[in-house]
Structure 1
Amino acid sequence: MGNHSHGGPNESGTVATAGQDSSETFRDPGLPPHRPRLADTDPAAAKKAERQVSWLFIISILGTLLFFVSYFVVGHTTNIADLRLQNMLLGLGTACAMLGIGVGIVHWTKTLMPDTEWVQERHEITKEEDRQKAAKMVEDILDESGIKRRPLIRNTLIGAMALAPLPAIFMFRDLDTSKLSAGEMVDRLRYTMWDKDVRLVRDPSGLPIKASDVQIGSAFHVIPDGLNELHEGKLNEKAKAVVLLMRLDPSKMQISPGRENWHVNGIVAYSKICTHVGCPVALYEQQTHHLLCPCHQSTFDLTQECKVIFGPAGHALPQLPITVDPEGYLVAQSDFKSPVGPSYWERGER
């Protein structure tokens, strides 16, 4: 056996030991060298970047104006094509208004504002000096941003930021112009066109549905009879009254007391409006008897009276009590027993 007292890991210096060279310190490498941008050295490039930033702010202004034009001029009919065009223009205008400001500020920062790294040493300042130093910092920020010496950027930014919030203000303001009281507004949300003996008809054809037409596993998108004949408020009424009609084996249904006669031999009708944020529930899984909302994946179990089994929805889909008339057509027994759609403060059973 050889003597390993020399050249071993502890003696050779390959492994650091506690206390070894504890006084040694690392030299501060300092900041990396600054690499000037093209706009820092070429006045023409700086002017070009300034114009680009201003054009982005102008695009934001034009986007806001497009929003107002589409909001007040386009889509004031019941024509679906006009409404789709209006929605597209509203979205395009809002996107340009927001992106124009955001991209413009980012481009301004990356091309024109100083990008030199620097270190500020921490030091104590007295309260007397605090205000002066804060004011000096604000002045330095304004000087470095170049907003004082670049009036084109400043003026277009002010215009874009002044107009950008207006679409949101008008949208919230125009949610309802009926000047109804709080109680009347609640009733408007609570009641739909469904009533006793109102026939269930297919959407959008308006053809009535016989119980014999509904087979196990089938699903129908349903509206109340007479909805298509409305000339005013048709879309508002449809948004509350649309229904999904399905049929399943009655032996698989878990029926609560009081709902025993709300279905017709396993044919059930439930509101199509998701109880999360009001998206249309349009996906029916025949094998699992689940209804899915495509917006946020809320899932409702049809065998458990559309109880929420997954997702953010707050409560079950309201059920529409149905029966058949003497001619064999499906009709409503009444309106929904609970309000449709998302939760709100005054919501409750009728």
Structure 2
Amino acid sequence: MAQQDNGDSSAAAGSAVEKSLPPAASPGTAVVASDAFANPGLPPHNLRVTDLDPAKERQASRRVGGLFILSIVGSIFAIVAYIVFPIVPGDLVSVRLNTLFLGLGITLALIPLGIGAIYWAKNLMHSEEMVEQRHSTRGTESTRAAAANIFTLGNKESGFTRRKLIRNSLIGALAVFPLPAIVFFRDLAPAEDPVALFKTTLWKKGTRLALDPSGAPIKASDVTLGSVFHVIPEGLENAEHKLEEKAKAAVLLMKLDPSDLNELPERKDWSYNGIVAYSKICTHVGCPVALYEQHTHHLLCPCHQSTFDVTNHCEVIFGPAKRPLPQLPIAVDSEGYLIAQSDFTEPVGPSFWERSA
């Protein structure tokens, strides 16, 4: 009797399991989720305060407009700060003030613009959830009409044309916002002609060659075969713009066997007993050429591997540089110190300065 009860219980359990399973499908038929579950649909839409109270809607609109107007004020403040607090070369206080007030102005222009756009979307734009059915897109008249309708609907839901304060203040903020950048572009151009600046350095006739950074003058007898020195004009510490002038006037001084030098005829007297001096600034993009290979007599720029042959008036033998390093004509004064015969006869530094002349 107990066995029969157990059998009946198993049959009942099996029947319950069968009822809980989804309906059986015949071979070749797929069972989809909709056969077992109903679409719950979208959750009910909760109205916001601005949807229920016109006064709150107007208040939110004024807040958005106020934020956009504040962005306009920030842009104007940045322009005024740029003019009122200019950077004075060598004056760190002016740099700090310029950076501080420009940063404040740009921040005041950007943050209210972003907050205003978010506040507008959260409190005033259409907030109901929507379901858009996927469909194939075609360039038909009906498709274009539907797209135009979407823009019309978006305009209606956002209230862009209806809310004049938001529209006008946003247009004003977006129109004024780029103005500081346009004013700041002035810093991208030097006050003087760059070609003229790079054609002139502190080197002049009779200026002694001095060691960098000590500033001690160099005697020709102290320059040994195979040696290389980083050289600056004597008295550079008294220059008005020391760093800028040093960047242009930096020179590499080397001594080779005079028989190894293949000098141009017009430059025969630009060296002294195998001692030659060339600009340290690469003619590619202005990196410092500071690597000298004694055995090959090659100068290497570490930035883009432009290589110059010292034995052949520093002509380019490898890399992206387009012209040789400018040579500084040198001689020896009555006390045996190396001096410059003149300034460089061509612009130093990147070739694009010369090409723009």
TM-score interval (norm. to shorter):
0.5 to 0.7
Structure 2 residue aligned with 1:62: 74
1:302-326 alpha-carbon deviations (Å, 9 max, x no partner): 656385966xx65357324141441
SS at match of 2:325: coil
Instruction: Letter of the 1:66 partner, please give it.
Output: A
Structure exhibiting the larger radius of gyration computed from Cα positions: 2
Structure 1 residue aligned with 2:151: 138
SS at match of 1:242: helix
1:77-125 alpha-carbon deviations (Å, 9 max, x no partner): 4433255336634863686377548855874687566685643644667
Q: CA 1:123–1:283 in structure 2 vs 1: closer, same or farther (change >3 Å)?
A: closer
Tell me how far apart the structure 1 counterparts of residues 323 and 105 of structure 2 sit (CA, whole Å): 34
May I ask how many residue pairs the two structures share in their alignment?
303
- Aligned with 2:325 (options 315, 318, 324): 318
1:340 pairs with 2:348: yes
Displacement after TM superposition at 1:69 (Å) = 1.6
Tell me how far apart the structure 2 counterparts of residues 36 and 256 of structure 1 sit (CA, whole Å): 89
SS at match of 1:340: coil
Structure 1 residue aligned with 2:217: 209
SS at match of 1:188: helix
Tell me how far apart the structure 2 counterparts of residues 141 and 80 of structure 1 sit (CA, whole Å): 53
Q: CA 1:165–1:82 in structure 2 vs 1: closer, same or farther (change >3 Å)?
A: same
Tell me how far apart the structure 1 counterparts of residues 212 and 72 of structure 2 sit (CA, whole Å): 40
Tell me how far apart the structure 2 counterparts of residues 333 and 148 of structure 1 sit (CA, whole Å): 74
1:165 pairs with 2:171: no
Tell me how far apart the structure 2 counterparts of residues 317 and 238 of structure 1 sit (CA, whole Å): 22
Instruction: Letter of the 1:210 partner, please give it.
Output: I
Tell me how far apart the structure 1 counterparts of residues 238 and 67 of structure 2 sit (CA, whole Å): 47
SS at match of 2:250: strand
Q: CA 1:274–1:343 in structure 2 vs 1: closer, same or farther (change >3 Å)?
A: closer
Q: CA 1:89–1:210 in structure 2 vs 1: closer, same or farther (change >3 Å)?
A: farther
Structure 1 residue aligned with 2:279: 270
Trace 1:54-203 onto structure 2 (pairs within 5 A). Answer: 55=67, 58=70, 61-62=73-74, 65-70=77-82, 72-75=83-86, 77-82=88-93, 84-85=95-96, 88-89=99-100, 92=103, 96=107, 99-100=110-111, 103-104=114-115, 107=118, 111=122, 116=129, 118-119=131-132, 121-122=135-136, 127=141, 133-148=146-161, 154=167, 156-172=169-185, 175=189, 188=196, 191-193=199-201, 194-200=203-209
Instruction: Letter of the 1:65 partner, please give it.
Output: F
Tell me how far apart the structure 2 counterparts of residues 104 and 302 of structure 1 sit (CA, whole Å): 56
Displacement after TM superposition at 1:332 (Å) = 3.0
SS at match of 2:326: coil
1:243 pairs with 2:249: yes
Q: TM-score, normalised by structure 2?
A: 0.55
Displacement after TM superposition at 1:32 (Å) = 11
Displacement after TM superposition at 1:192 (Å) = 0.9
Tell me how far apart the structure 2 counterparts of residues 214 and 96 of structure 1 sit (CA, whole Å): 56
Does the CA contact (< 8 Å) of 1:300 and 1:316 recur in 2?
A: no
Does the CA contact (< 8 Å) of 2:251 and 2:278 recur in 1?
A: yes
CA RMSD, 1 decimal? 5.7
Tell me how far apart the structure 2 counterparts of residues 227 and 102 of structure 1 sit (CA, whole Å): 48
Displacement after TM superposition at 1:49 (Å) = 11
Task: Show structure 2 runs of 5+ residues with no match.
Answer: 1-26, 51-55
